[in-house]
């Protein structure tokens, strides 16, 4: 029996094959090894710790170990809403930063 595909079906099969290939790669290598940060690799050399919590940019904040894009955005948002941090202890008020994380982050910041 000869299989015949329409043009759309051919594209669909090709697309799904690539998806399946990508999925298999993730399964074999793991998600973590396939993370590549275009932003952080470019700005790594420019960051000097400790960072000023009130003036650090998004690109600088995401260089801090334990801070990704979401936390960096939350810190910037908090800074905007409260007109800046008056004390480093206020960092604990940022959503998602608990005691443990706060202690880890403390050496990387100054006011």
Partner 1 sequence: MRPFSWNLFGLFIAYIVGILISKSGVISILPVIILCGAFLLLSIVLTNKKVISVFLILLAVLLGFLNFELDKSKIKALEELSDYRNVELKGLVSSIPDKKDELLKFSLHLTGMDNEDLDANLHLNAYSGYTTSIEPGDDLVLKGDFRKIRNEVIFLVKSYEIISQKFSFKRYIYRIKKYALDKVDKLYPDEYAFFVKATILGQTGKSIQNIRGKFQELGLAHILAISGLHVGLVFFFFLFLLKSLYIRGRIRGCMLAVIMLGYMLITGARPPVVRATVMALVYIYFWFFYTKVNPFNVLIFTAFLMSLINPETIFQASFLLSFSAMLGIFMMLYLFTNKGNKLFNYFKVALGAWLFVAPLSWFYFKGIALFGLLFNIVFLPVFSFLIACVFSSIVASFVSATVAIFFAHASYPFFYILFKVLDNISKIRFCFLKLPPVSIWVVVLIYIVLTTIIFIVRDIIRKKQKIYTDSQDVP
Binding site for partner 1 (CB under 8 A): 8, 11-12, 15, 18-23, 25-27, 29, 31, 34-39, 41-43, 57-59, 62, 68-70, 72-73, 76-77, 80-81
Instruction: Report in angstroms how near the CB of residue 50 gets to partner 1 at its nearest.
Output: 20
What DSSP character marks residue 86?
A: S
Instruction: Report in angstroms how near the CB of residue 61 gets to partner 1 at its nearest.
Output: 9
- In angstroms, the CA 102 to CA 2 distance is 65
Q: 6 or 99, CB closer to partner 1?
A: 6
The single residue listed with the structure tokens 């941090």 is 85
Count of beta carbons in the 10 Å neighbourhood of residue 103: 10
Instruction: Report in angstroms how near the CB of residue 105 gets to partner 1 at its nearest.
Output: 16
Lookup: tokens for 49: 């710790």
Question: Which element (helix H / strand E) includes 61?
Answer: helix 58-61
Q: 29 or 86, CB closer to partner 1?
A: 29
- In angstroms, the CA 73 to CA 66 distance is 13
- In angstroms, the CA 51 to CA 106 distance is 10
Instruction: Report in angstroms how near the CB of residue 16 gets to partner 1 at its nearest.
Output: 9
Q: 39 or 106, CB closer to partner 1?
A: 39
Q: 18 or 49, CB closer to partner 1?
A: 18
């Amino acid at each position: 029996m000869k299989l015949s595909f329409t043009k759309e079906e051919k594209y669909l099969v090709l697309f799904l094959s690539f998806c399946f290939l990508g999925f298999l790669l993730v399964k074999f290598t793991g998600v973590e090894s396939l993370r590549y940060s275009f932003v952080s690799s470019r700005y790594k050399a420019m960051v000097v710790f400790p960072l000023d919590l009130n003036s650090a940019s998004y690109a600088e904040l995401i260089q801090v170990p334990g801070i990704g894009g979401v936390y960096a955005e939350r810190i910037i948002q908090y800074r905007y809403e409260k007109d800046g941090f008056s004390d480093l202890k206020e960092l604990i008020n940022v959503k998602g930063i608990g005691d443990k994380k706060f202690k880890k982050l403390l050496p990387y910041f100054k006011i």
